[in-house]
Amino acid sequence: MTPARAHLPEHGLYVITPASAAGAEALIDQVRQALEGGAVMVQYRAKGRATLAEARRLQRLCAEHGAPLIINDDPALALASGAAGVHLGVDDVPVAEARRILGPQAIIGVSCYNRIDRLRAAAAAGADYAALGAFFPSVTKPHAATAAIELLRLARAASALPVVAIGGVTPENGGALIAAGAHWLAASHGIFESGDIAGAARRYRALFHRPSSKGIA
């Protein structure tokens, strides 16, 4: 029997795990606080140091909170850990290959940076969401391609593919991204280096309940 398709939240805070976590216990605790604060999706991003043990623990934690766990770059790790899906960058395997590995039930996201053509291609290939940005200077990726907020409006006009806004997103600037069409706000440094992870997550979450966020599909 084919597993049920993973649930993709309609909107909300999408947290990306920090590079600063000092070991598995610290990582799990930090992600738990983010989930308790209202994060709706988690991406396990640990370039060159991701482990199956950590991925499995994160999967169990996310399942307890009803939040999909997305694995950065690695469909095989996503499959082995039971994660909900994978996020692919420009140098990773194509969407079709990730779908072959993970099956029709998986959530597959694609980094589209500041390119509408890449977003259209991701949609045509069967991706489930696209990431656009960086909209603001990013501590996590200081050399990332930059994008204007208008790109979100162009994306919504070009495709029905849901969009996550990434890059320097804060509770102070995130409302404008939601108003322009972002379904989710991605954050790493703004959550995990805040000094109050759950509190920071609540501030991001509150943006989706303001009048400016009404009508996001």
Residue 113 domain flag: yes
Residue 6 domain flag: no
Residue 5 domain flag: no
Distances (CA, A) of 80 to 44, 74, 120, 125: 14, 10, 30, 23
Host domain of residue 187: 12-213
Residue 1 domain flag: no
For 160, half-sphere exposure in the C-beta direction (CA atoms, 13 angstrom radius) is 3
- Cα–chain-centroid distance for residue 126? 17
For residues 74 and 80, what is the distance between their CA atoms, to the nearest angstrom?
Answer: 10
The pLDDT tens digits of the residues spanning 133-191 come to 999 987 777 777 799 999 999 999 999 999 999 999 999 999 999 999 999 999 999 99
Residue 49 domain flag: yes
> pLDDT above 90 covers what percent of the chain?
86
Considering its fold, how many domains does the chain have in total?
Answer: 1
Q: How confident is the model at residue 213 (pLDDT cuts 50, 70, 90)?
A: very low
Residue 4 domain flag: no
Cβ(35)–Cβ(42) below 8 Å = yes
Whats the size of the chain, residue-wise?
217
> According to the model, what pLDDT value does residue 212 have?
47
For residues 183 and 8, what is the distance between their CA atoms, to the nearest angstrom?
Answer: 11
> According to the model, what pLDDT value does residue 76 have?
98
> According to the model, what pLDDT value does residue 43 have?
98
The pLDDT tens digits of the residues spanning 112-148 come to 999 999 999 999 999 999 999 999 987 777 777 799 9
Q: Tell me the CATH number at 154.
A: 3.20.20.70
The pLDDT tens digits of the residues spanning 78-95 come to 999 999 999 999 999 999
> According to the model, what pLDDT value does residue 215 have?
38
